[in-house]
Structure 1
């Protein structure tokens, strides 16, 4: 049987819906989703198999002006995905998808060699504005760059997704599948579990704290009766942040643990015993060794 395989990079500013789209495309929740910008920190590959075609979707960190070494590594990781992408999807949304805010991205995409990758425009969250505004937005971007195709979608509601998947399938090169048919992600379950806990923290914490915390695995131990013990370390940059993560009488970290354990158990199909602790590690976002452990930066 003839097979097709290719990489599809999902790129754009923070909070345009790339992670929501990835989850919709692969049919399961792989990428964490919050209303906060910079939720995605590393490239996450989600895999979909359909009628002889295997698509490796790459959810990338949002592209923004970096301040810390973590920021720089995130943006570098996003741009690194285009080196092997067969299709690059620039995602924008009507509420904030202004041309000037995406000008830097477009300039860099226009520098790619003509045959390196097909570049399409995806306008997400179309349910939030009227059709005339959508058409104006499409005209503005289309006049700036010659996109191979333009799609109007709602990743949250699923509108336009089937047409998008079909176009991807029809435009990927012929070749053998790179991943086993039953694999849905390139990311380890340990990494996915850490992301789940970080998602619960992001949804509960406010102001600058979410951007100054990380989650790492201390221990992962398979137990009897298809159960697993997971010890995770929540890393924050300040003593004051540690107190807020823990909450009054441990209320915040307890609720985070309950919610994370439920989702991790669903991901693994196992009963999970989750134990969380909080560590202060000042300036960890500028720690190159830590960034490499997260899959960012140079080895």
Structure 2
């Protein structure tokens, strides 16, 4: 502890939003470190990731929740329950909205994904107003957008009564993020810091390692492989030479998906392993020996062990 505890502040800030609103990018930007995976796939965050951001005498513990949407499968229900749970336990909540996508959803140029995002945003607003909650609205991905268009969207959403204030940001470039960070810091209650000043995340290393590898899987095979893969860290050992030996299993649902992950001559799996190892080496600050296995398990989404690994409620 480097400061008098009576002068410090610490608390939780939850980032909620529709899938692909940019929540993970925002958490990474606020924390200044890679603590949440970011891919072009929606629904890649399956459990709340606690990033830790410092601002003056305040420590902000960031909860990056799974995207809130209308659940259909068991895993979907667990993810949505996790998201609302993260919001309920926080000192302040930020509702992140993809401004560009939301505006596009109302035009003929809008895609099905734009319209789904707008519908999910409406679902969140209805839930907030029904609960009598007011949260901070952050309009994201404002790059290159006309100011009058943004102001009109802000006024429309603010009129729902779900928001106490509005910020306009770009999580990708950092525009406006410092102002939002200062606001979150001011909302933290007085008290001692929960973590060392130089710690960027509160995620079990086995879980973070699995998430990083899963990110690489989606980056490489996002076209061929839908949401049918999971990664489990089956072994994480510290070696005498200071390096880490990590064993992981990549689960897919069908036999036809295994060759997709392996690639011709194993080249795809080799790329996934190499990129994951590079990230893990940087995060751990030591050499990493990573060993990947691909297994077919049609029922991996019903595995209680995997739900437990990610802190999700199997019975949600």
Question: Does structure 1 retain, via aligned residues, the 8 Å contact 2:68–2:120?
Answer: no
* CA RMSD between the two structures: 1.7
Structure-2 change in CA distance of 1:65 and 1:128 (3 Å): farther
Question: Does structure 2 retain, via aligned residues, the 8 Å contact 1:239–1:280?
Answer: yes
* Corresponding residue SS for 2:123: helix
1:159 aligns with 2:170: no
Q: Counterpart in 1 of 2:21?
A: 16
Cα displacement string for residues 55-85 of structure 1 (whole angstroms, at most 9, x for unaligned residues)? 1111011111222211111111001112211
* Corresponding residue SS for 2:192: coil
1:142 shift after superposition:
0.7
1:107 aligns with 2:112: no
Structure-2 change in CA distance of 1:186 and 1:262 (3 Å): same
Please show how residues 93-172 of structure 1 align to structure 2 within 5 Å.
93-97=98-102, 100-112=119-131, 119-172=135-188
Which range moves more in the overlay, 202-211 or 57-66?
Answer: 202-211
Give the distance between the partners of 2:79 and 2:281, measured in 1 at CA.
28
Please show how residues 229-240 of structure 1 align to structure 2 within 5 Å.
229-240=245-256
1:298 shift after superposition:
5.0
Give the distance between the partners of 1:144 and 1:128, measured in 2 at CA.
26
1:26 aligns with 2:26: no
1:23 shift after superposition:
0.4
1:210 shift after superposition:
4.1
1:280 aligns with 2:296: yes
In the superposition, the TM-score normalised over structure 2's length comes to: 0.89
Give the distance between the partners of 2:162 and 2:294, measured in 1 at CA.
49
In the superposition, the TM-score normalised over structure 1's length comes to: 0.94
Name structure 2 gaps, 5 residues minimum.
Answer: 106-117
Give the distance between the partners of 1:27 and 1:294, measured in 2 at CA.
23
Q: 1:84 aligns with which of 82, 86, 89?
A: 89
Q: Counterpart in 2 of 1:218?
A: 234
Give the distance between the partners of 2:140 and 2:148, measured in 1 at CA.
15
Question: Does structure 2 retain, via aligned residues, the 8 Å contact 1:47–1:54?
Answer: yes
1:269 aligns with 2:285: yes
* Corresponding residue SS for 1:62: coil
Number of aligned residue pairs: give it. 296
1:51 shift after superposition:
2.2
Cα displacement string for residues 221-269 of structure 1 (whole angstroms, at most 9, x for unaligned residues)? 2113221111110011111111110011101001111111111100100
Q: Counterpart in 2 of 1:178?
A: 194
1:125 shift after superposition:
0.5
Give the distance between the partners of 2:74 and 2:168, measured in 1 at CA.
35
Give the distance between the partners of 2:145 and 2:151, measured in 1 at CA.
11
* Corresponding residue SS for 1:92: strand
* Corresponding residue SS for 1:96: helix
Give the distance between the partners of 2:314 and 2:19, measured in 1 at CA.
23
Cα displacement string for residues 154-192 of structure 1 (whole angstroms, at most 9, x for unaligned residues)? 111010011111111122222222223333222111111
Q: Counterpart in 1 of 2:265?
A: 249
Give the distance between the partners of 1:183 and 1:198, measured in 2 at CA.
23
Please show how residues 171-210 of structure 1 align to structure 2 within 5 Å.
171-207=187-223, 209-210=225-226
